Structure 1
Amino acid sequence: MQLVRGLQNLRPQHRGCVATIGNFDGVHRGHRAILARLRERAAELGLPSCVVIFEPQPREFFDPHTAPARLLRLRDKLDLLRAEGVDRVLCLAFNQRLRSLSAAEFVNQVLVDGLGVRHLEVGDDFRFGCDRLGDFAFLQQSGAEHGFTVEAAHTVEIEGLRVSSTKVRKALAHADFELAERLLGRPFTIRGTVLHGQKLARQLGTPTANVQLKRRRVPLTGVYLVSANIDGVNWPGVANIGVRPTVQGDGNAHLEVHLLDFAGDLYGRRLTVAFHHKLRDEQRFASLEALKSAINADVAAARAHWQGQLQTKSLK
């Protein structure tokens, strides 16, 4: 899969494609249905498929403090788009210049002059351009003028529930990981590199891997039962994700994972952490001794849970 960053890096060989536009946060089952249709239309027309995304996401540009927490970092989103067979991703910097483009200017500069789009797949509620004045009807009219077709992506529903990134976030906020998995089509995970931290957990007797988040906000907060994939092996564990209110920190969210019975150096390794069950909310403790007791209780609960899972599997 080819990544093109910005209109300025488009070349003549990039013209002529089947495209779709969106944030694709989560690359959930609704997104995957759009991508499947994109592949079909690209194959029919003998053209490459292209996904147009924005960085930052538009709501993060307009109000970064209230924008929804991301389900995926850009790197992970690109990995999932690659796995879905996308040929090319055009990543546009969402800045004041792009935000100021009218709907007509966006069509002309991005779709026509930039990509030479032959067919476009978008949701029928898609809005774009300055003040979001462009809509599906405008795209159809523009397509008729410039020689490209436009098709509305069908809504995907599961058990009567429309699949969306918002629904996934709500499921995660309620610690409904089964629903989140059904909406995503895979377990919810966070990937990141293990960094050196304060090593306070090690002093408290439960060493943790400090997983780099690289995001302003996270869709989860609290203490969870997790598993981490290391070299193809899933290690059970317990994780805290939050601002660590008991110790003086930087105010940013951190993900700290304790893997049961794991011995080894994880610094610099990239972990994929899957979330399975919420144990409790993050809370501030009156002392480090009280924090240590709570951590020990969390680890004991995690160990009991995972041992129960092993016993259940052995009985099947």
Structure 2
Amino acid sequence: MQLVRGLHNLSPQHRGCVATIGNFDGVHRGHQAVLARLFERAAELNLPSCVVIFEPQPREFFAPATAPVRLSRLADKVDLLASAGVDRVLCLAFNQRLRELSADAFVRAVLVDGLGVAHLEVGDDFRFGCDRSGDFAFLQQAGRSYGFTVEEAATAEFAGSRISSTRVREALQVADFVEAENLLGRPFAIDGRVMHGQKLGRELGAPTANVQLKRHRVPLSGVFLVSVVLDGVVHPGVANIGVRPSVKTDGFAHLEVHLLDFSGDLYDRRVSVVFHHKLREEQRFASLEALKSAIAADIDAARALLAGPNEFFKSLRDD
């Protein structure tokens, strides 16, 4: 897959495609349904598929303090789109210049002059342009003027309700990982590289892998039973994700994972941390001894789940 950062990096070879536009946060099953239709149209027209995304996402630009927490970083999103089979991603910097484009100027600059779009898949609630005058009807009229077709992207539902990034976030907030997996089409996971940390876990009797988040906010917090995928091998573990209120910290979210019955050097290794069950909320402890006792109890609780009758938890133990 080809990633193009910005309109200025488009060249004549990028003209002629079937495209869709959106945030694609999490690349959930609703997004996957849009992509499936995109691929059908691309095959019919014998053209590459292209997904147009924004960085930052528009709500992060307009109201960074209240914008929804992301399900996936830009790098994760690009990887997920590539895995889905997208041929090209155009990532546009959402800045003051882009914000000030009228709907018609956006269509001409991005869809017509930039990508030479032959067909566009877009949701009927999509709005764009500095005056938000760009909508589905506007795009249909623009398509007739500039020579491309426009189709309403199908809405995917699960359990009677529309699949959305908001719905995934709500499931993660209450640690409903079965619901999150049904909406995402895969278990919720956070990927990252293991970095050097404060080495405090060793002092507390539970060495931890400090997984680099590269984000200030995360869609869940607390202590969890997880599985860690390392070089294709699954290891059960206990993870804490949050601001670590019991130790001196920078106030940003951190992800620390203790792998059960594992020994070895994990530094600079890439891992995928898959979340399965919430053990407790993150909390502040009055002393390191109290924190040490809580960590030991978390590990005991995780082991009890793995040793219990639940077949899924047993499968984590047996991998």
TM-score range, shorter chain: over 0.9
The CA distance in 1 between the partners of 2:144 and 2:119, in whole Å, is 11
Structure 2 match to 1:110: 110
Contact 2:172 2:219 in 1 (8 A): yes
CA deviation vs aligned residue, 1:10-57 (integer Å, no higher than 9, x gap): 000100100000010010000001001101000100111000001111
Q: How far did residue 262 of structure 1 move?
A: 0.7
Structure 1 match to 2:11: 11
The CA distance in 1 between the partners of 2:33 and 2:247, in whole Å, is 45
The CA distance in 2 between the partners of 1:161 and 1:50, in whole Å, is 27
The alpha-carbon distance between structure 1 residues 312 and 53, as it changes in their structure 2 partners (threshold 3 A), is closer
After superposition, residues 172-251 of structure 1 pair within 5 angstroms as: 172-251=172-251
Structure 1 match to 2:44: 44
Q: Which amino acid aligns with 1:34?
A: V
The alpha-carbon distance between structure 1 residues 141 and 280, as it changes in their structure 2 partners (threshold 3 A), is same
The CA distance in 2 between the partners of 1:18 and 1:295, in whole Å, is 51
The CA distance in 1 between the partners of 2:225 and 2:6, in whole Å, is 40
Q: State the SS of the aligned residue for 2:172.
A: helix
The CA distance in 2 between the partners of 1:235 and 1:228, in whole Å, is 5
Structure 2 match to 1:303: 303
What's the Cα RMSD here?
1.4
Structure 1 match to 2:125: 125
The CA distance in 2 between the partners of 1:237 and 1:161, in whole Å, is 33
Number of aligned positions between the proteins = 315
The CA distance in 1 between the partners of 2:51 and 2:269, in whole Å, is 30
Q: State the SS of the aligned residue for 2:305.
A: helix
Q: State the SS of the aligned residue for 1:130.
A: coil
The CA distance in 2 between the partners of 1:80 and 1:187, in whole Å, is 13
Contact 2:224 2:279 in 1 (8 A): yes
Structure 1 match to 2:275: 275
Q: How far did residue 132 of structure 1 move?
A: 2.4
Q: Which amino acid aligns with 2:263?
A: A
Q: How far did residue 96 of structure 1 move?
A: 0.8
Query: TM-score scaled to structure 1, two decimals?
Result: 0.97
The CA distance in 2 between the partners of 1:112 and 1:154, in whole Å, is 24
Structure 1 match to 2:100: 100
The CA distance in 1 between the partners of 2:314 and 2:121, in whole Å, is 45
After superposition, residues 31-110 of structure 1 pair within 5 angstroms as: 31-110=31-110
The CA distance in 2 between the partners of 1:192 and 1:131, in whole Å, is 39
Q: Which amino acid aligns with 1:260?
A: L
Q: State the SS of the aligned residue for 2:275.
A: strand
Structure 1 match to 2:255: 255
- Could you tell me which runs of 5 or more consecutive residues in structure 2 were left unpaired when the two chains were aligned: none
Q: How far did residue 312 of structure 1 move?
A: 5.2
Q: State the SS of the aligned residue for 2:110.
A: helix
Q: How far did residue 198 of structure 1 move?
A: 0.5
The CA distance in 1 between the partners of 2:201 and 2:314, in whole Å, is 31
The CA distance in 2 between the partners of 1:129 and 1:178, in whole Å, is 38
- Could you tell me which runs of 5 or more consecutive residues in structure 1 were left unpaired when the two chains were aligned: none
The CA distance in 1 between the partners of 2:304 and 2:260, in whole Å, is 11
Q: How far did residue 129 of structure 1 move?
A: 1.2
Query: TM-score scaled to structure 2, two decimals?
Result: 0.96
The CA distance in 1 between the partners of 2:207 and 2:131, in whole Å, is 50
